[in-house]
Each structure stands twice: as C-alpha cells, then as structure tokens.
Amino acid sequence: MNPENPDNLELENQKTAITHIAVFEYRHSGQEKIAGIKRYGHDIEICRTINIEQPLPNFIPEPEDFIDDNFKADLVLCFIKHPDLADYIASICRRKGIPIIASGTKTENALTPFTCCGLGRHSGLGAYGKQFGVPEFEVDLEDGLISAIRIERGASCGATWKAAAKVIGLPVAEALPVIGREVQYFCAADPSAFDPISGKSSLHYAGHVHIKALRKAVDNAGS
C-alpha cells in the first residue's frame, strides 16, 4: 500500500475477508454441496477437500488412520456420517478452534442442523454462515403475483436458487406449495432418510422451511 495515497487504505478496508473451508467427505458425498457453494456463494474458498474412498468398518478404534489432522481452515464442513470419524474430526476442530458443521448427524462439538437448509445464524461462520442455511427471501408482488424473488440465504446444495426460479409469475397461494415441492426435487438429501426419533424426513423438512421462508417474505412485502 502506498502511504501517500489514502484512497488505497479506503479500498483495503472495504475488502471482504475470504472464508476458507475444509471439506471432509466419504466417496464424494459432499460434491453437490461444494458445487452449490462455488456457484451461488461468494467470498468463500474451498481450500482443501479430504475424501475417503475405502470401505469403513462399523467400529473404528483408531480414526487417525483415516483422518489427517494437518489442515488449516476458517470452517470445516463434514459430510462423513460414520460417527467415529465425524467425532474425531470434531475433536480436531475443537482443539484447533475451528467451527464445524456436520449436518444430519449427532456429532458432539459440532453444529448439526437436520439439513444444510436448517442451519440457523451463528457467529464465527464467516461468509458461509451469512449466505447458506435457513432460507431467507425478499419478494416483489404485483397484482397478487410474485414478480421477483431475491435470495438472501439458502441451501448450500443450490436447491433454493433452482426452486425459487419456478415461482416467479405465480400467485402466492400457488407459489407456496410449488417451492416446497420443487425444493424436494432438487434437494441433495437422501430421500429414504427418516429420523427414527422424530419421524421427520430430510426432504419434507427442506420443503417445509422453504415454504415458511417464502410465506414470511410475502408477508413482509405485503406490509
């Protein structure tokens, strides 16, 4: 920076910090999320991807044989469902002071939303937390129709953006069920996955949170 040019200082202060993310996945289980983050996100860099290909035993007494702890990141996304490995990754992140999101798991010391579109707003998640999680919309209404929709926050798999395009031009009463249905078509969650305790399906949950978000946006536009 040239100290004689104060404009350089102003521009430097306006720069947005990049959030560096490390991804842990099993047999490329996070690829749809990675693709969605790259396409719809900004100020985010996937700095490292650790993919495990080999078959995993039911019990892993030495998870360090599968996971290398030599990584740096501002945030970790864990798409490995095996509890021994997920818990081990979370313990590493805790030691390193790195927040970790492990959607759809019961991993201790991690944020564990039911789906990627179930992540609430939390401090310390950088650009990722601002752009991805529970969907947030702004809409324009014209003669009872949705004439425009802006996505402030959505699912990292990209389903929010794809589904939102389907409701433009629709009456509100029709748009609400449409966005719920379309999100389920595009959702990356396993359609057969049901939580045995709550009985909730990941797909149904994703549809519900998008309907709720669109209804809130419509109410705000009407007021």
Q: What is the pLDDT of residue 106?
A: 94
Question: Looking at the 3D structure of the chain, how many domains does it have?
Answer: 2
Residue finishing a domain among 43, 77, 112: 112
What pLDDT, in 10s, does the model give residues 59-104? 999 999 999 999 999 999 999 999 999 999 999 999 999 999 999 9
Number of Cβ within a 10 Å radius of residue 141: 15
Q: What would the pLDDT profile of 104-115 be if each residue is shown by its tens digit?
A: 999 999 999 999
The pLDDT of residue 12 is above 50: no
Report yes or no: 93 and 86 within 8 Å, Cβ to Cβ. no
Tell whether 124 is covered by a domain: no
Chain Cα centroid distance, residue 115: 8
Q: Is residue 129 part of a domain?
A: no
* pLDDT for res 193: 66
* 159: in domain: yes
> Domain span at residue 199?
136-222
Task: Please report, as a single letter, which amino acid is at residue 116.
Answer: C
CATH, residue 166: 3.90.1010
Instruction: Verify that 103 and 180 share a domain, yes or no.
Output: no
Q: Domain boundary at 47, 77, 112, which?
A: 112
The burial of 61, by beta-carbon neighbours within 10 Å (0-12 exposed, 13-18 middle, 19 or more buried), is given as: exposed
